[in-house]
């Protein structure tokens, strides 16, 4: 009798997931992207010598779960939970659940609404133009979109480097959310944002609108009379929104998009950083071209700081492969003082072979030429001459020749 009851219990436990899956679809997916190559950090403006090394790099590899379920009325409920897959540095980089695009939402004929953490509409436009990169040593998030000048956390009462215009002595010991105190997510125009609400419209005649709003979850009302306050405690009410409108037509060959962002109380309390970007391209069949232009304005106590970047990209198909290349440029920061020689140029060229819809292998060369006060680099680059950071010393150029492998599942 006991054995019979145990068998029924096990059968019931095994059947329950099957009943749930019968009403919805759940998928395991991933993108494994790695590179092996030779890296060079060039001589710096201060005279530090060049430095070379071999490296195995991880290009934002990830894996996750996603599912969909019809809930009636022509609507679908969906979820996605995605995390990093640190194949290169598993000894010191933890796998953090839901660290990448992760959300839950409802989609219908009226559009798609969801809450969680996701890339901004600004960042989503990079898919329209960035056709010229083999592997991941390209302009996106190295030159294009990557020009933040302040800390990224939205709470001026946390020890996070976000103190532009705040009174002296603010907070070094204030107790705040660990994510915010460590930098958080949200301020850079190219990033995903958390604590956020998203809406994506249906596509009408090739046109789609997107909006993301990050809540003021980090709002601080602490003043000098509050418990645990310091004489320099400040009131901050940080929030942001990102929007875009994009169009695709002519059988998908033509595409263009405009993004506009507003980030309140991030660089300077009481002021709003802003930016716009135009990105797009055209596939002529024999060659696919892309281009991007963006401009950001950061508020500081010394006045506005303006950043400008642009880039072009090309993909020339050859059989089951492509020759790809791009060039991008960041101008010197403008406004205030002390911004001379803060620009950089980046170029990359390579060949990528498609073995299947899921697996690509490529070879290429990429370089960032930093001006004397610039420190642009790629995420995932090895450490510099000092060995403790992958940010190059001012004026040091960064270059790599590499073999890349990408597999999607």
pLDDT, tens only, 82-100: 999 988 865 556 778 898 9
321 vs 324: CA distance, rounded Å = 10
pTM for the predicted model, two decimal places? 0.84
pLDDT of 65 reads 96
Return the structure tokens found at 219.
């709002």
Q: What domains can be seen in the chain, in order of their start residue?
A: 29-408 (2.40.160.10)
pLDDT of 157 reads 54
328 vs 129: CA distance, rounded Å = 12
Q: Please state, in angstroms and as integers, the Cα–Cα distance from residue 347 to each residue in 84, 124, 143, 216, 377, following that order.
A: 27, 22, 10, 38, 12
Given a cut of 50, the residues of the chain with pLDDT beneath it are 1-22, 149-154, 159-186
pLDDT digits (tens, 9 = 90+) for 20-79: 444 578 999 999 999 999 999 999 988 999 999 999 999 989 999 999 999 999 999 999
pLDDT of 265 reads 81
Number of Cβ within 10 Å of residue 97's Cβ equals: 12
Cα atoms in the 13 Å half-sphere on the side-chain side of 28: 0
pLDDT of 5 reads 36
């Amino acid at each position: 009798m006991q054995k019979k009851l145990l068998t029924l219990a096990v059968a019931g436990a095994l059947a329950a997931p099957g009943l749930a899956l019968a009403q919805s679809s759940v998928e395991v997916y991933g993108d494994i992207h790695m590179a092996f190559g030779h890296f060079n950090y060039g001589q710096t403006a201060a005279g530090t010598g060049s430095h070379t090394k071999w490296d195995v790099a991880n290009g934002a590899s990830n894996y996750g779960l996603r599912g969909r379920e019809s809930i009636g009325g022509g609507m679908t409920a969906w979820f996605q939970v995605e995390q990093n897959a640190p194949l290169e540095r598993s000894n010191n980089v933890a796998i953090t659940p839901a660290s990448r695009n992760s959300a839950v939402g409802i989609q219908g004929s009226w559009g798609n609404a969801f809450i969680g953490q996701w890339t901004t509409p600004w960042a989503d436009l990079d898919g329209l133009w960035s056709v010229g990169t083999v592997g991941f040593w390209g302009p996106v998030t190295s030159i294009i979109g990557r020009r933040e000048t302040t800390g990224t956390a939205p709470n001026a009462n946390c020890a996070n480097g976000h103190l532009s215009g705040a009174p002296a002595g603010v907070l070094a010991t204030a107790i705040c959310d660990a994510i915010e105190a460590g930098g958080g997510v949200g301020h850079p125009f190219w990033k995903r944002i958390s604590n956020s609400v998203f809406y994506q419209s249906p596509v009408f005649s090739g046109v789609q609108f997107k909006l993301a709003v990050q809540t003021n979850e980090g709002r601080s009302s602490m003043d000098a009379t509050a418990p645990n306050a310091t004489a320099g405690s400040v009131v901050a009410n940080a929030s942001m929104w990102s929007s875009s409108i994009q169009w695709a037509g002519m059988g998908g060959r033509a595409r263009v998009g405009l993004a506009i962002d507003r980030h309140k109380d991030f660089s300077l309390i009481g002021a709003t950083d802003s930016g716009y970007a135009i990105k797009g391209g055209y596939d002529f069949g024999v060659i696919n071209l892309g281009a991007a232009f963006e401009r950001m304005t950061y508020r500081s106590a010394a006045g506005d700081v303006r950043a400008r970047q642009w880039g072009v990209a090309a993909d020339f198909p050859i059989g089951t492969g492509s020759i790809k290349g791009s060039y991008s440029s960041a101008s010197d920061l403008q406004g205030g003082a002390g911004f001379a020689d803060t620009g950089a140029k980046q170029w990359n060229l390579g060949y990528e072979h498609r073995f299947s819809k899921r697996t690509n292998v490529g070879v290429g060369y990429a370089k960032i030429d930093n001006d004397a006060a610039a420190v642009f680099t790629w995420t995932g680059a090895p450490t510099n001459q000092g060995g403790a950071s992958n940010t190059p010393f001012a004026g040091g150029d960064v270059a790599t020749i590499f073999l890349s492998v990408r597999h999607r599942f």
